[in-house]
Amino acid sequence: MAKKEKSVFQLLNRKAYHDYEIIEKFEAGIALQGTEVKSVRAGKVSFKDSYARVIDGELWVVNLHINEYDHGTVWNHDPARNRKLLLHRREIKRLTGKTEEQGMTLVPLSLYFKNGKVKVELGLGRGRKSYDKRAEIAKRDVNRDIERELKERQRN
């Protein structure tokens, strides 16, 4: 039996790539309730101001807003609760050291389904200054113009 890969369905945190210089990426499971999984499938997730941090030796994602499920009942979930991330203890210790010593941040980059389970892609990143963000935008614009010119030349 072939190994399943990431599903096509993926929710991206585009602002994270703008605000942070991502150095390393990790895949983690996330402990969700049933209605949260249904809301994720419906794409009702907001990454705004979300980050991950270690609390009492466990990794938690904070400010990840998953809207209440539309067809939920009285037992619908709290949209703003902290959610536990599932990583091995040695990975958590390694991340703790990097975030405390080097001033880096753990940011959720995307949510996706893998083998029927919701996974979070975490990025270990360093915050960008406003002038770094402007330089990155300028570089992206120049690359876009170059690609456009090359495409035009290939047509002619």
Q: What is the pLDDT of residue 146?
A: 93
Q: Is residue 124 part of a domain?
A: yes
Higher pLDDT, 8 or 111: 111
Q: Is residue 145 part of a domain?
A: no
Higher pLDDT, 155 or 89: 89
Q: What is the pLDDT of residues 33-50, one digit of tens each?
A: 888 888 888 888 888 888
Q: Is residue 139 part of a domain?
A: no
Q: Is residue 141 part of a domain?
A: no
- Residue 113: which domain range? 11-128
Instruction: Give how many domains the chain has, as a whole number.
Output: 1
94-108 burial string, b = 16+ CB within 10 Å, else e? ebeebbeeeebbbbb
Q: Is residue 5 part of a domain?
A: no
Does this model's pTM top 0.85? My answer is: no
**C-alpha distances in angstroms, 87 versus 17, 57, 125, 133, 149?**
23, 11, 18, 31, 45
**At a CB cut-off of 8 Å and minimum separation 6, what does 57 contact?**
89, 92
Q: Is residue 6 part of a domain?
A: no
- For residue 46, the domain's CATH number is 2.40.280.10
Q: Is residue 151 part of a domain?
A: no
Q: What is the pLDDT of residue 100?
A: 83
Q: What is the pLDDT of residue 143?
A: 92
Q: What is the pLDDT of residues 110-134, one digit of tens each?
A: 999 999 899 999 999 888 788 778 8
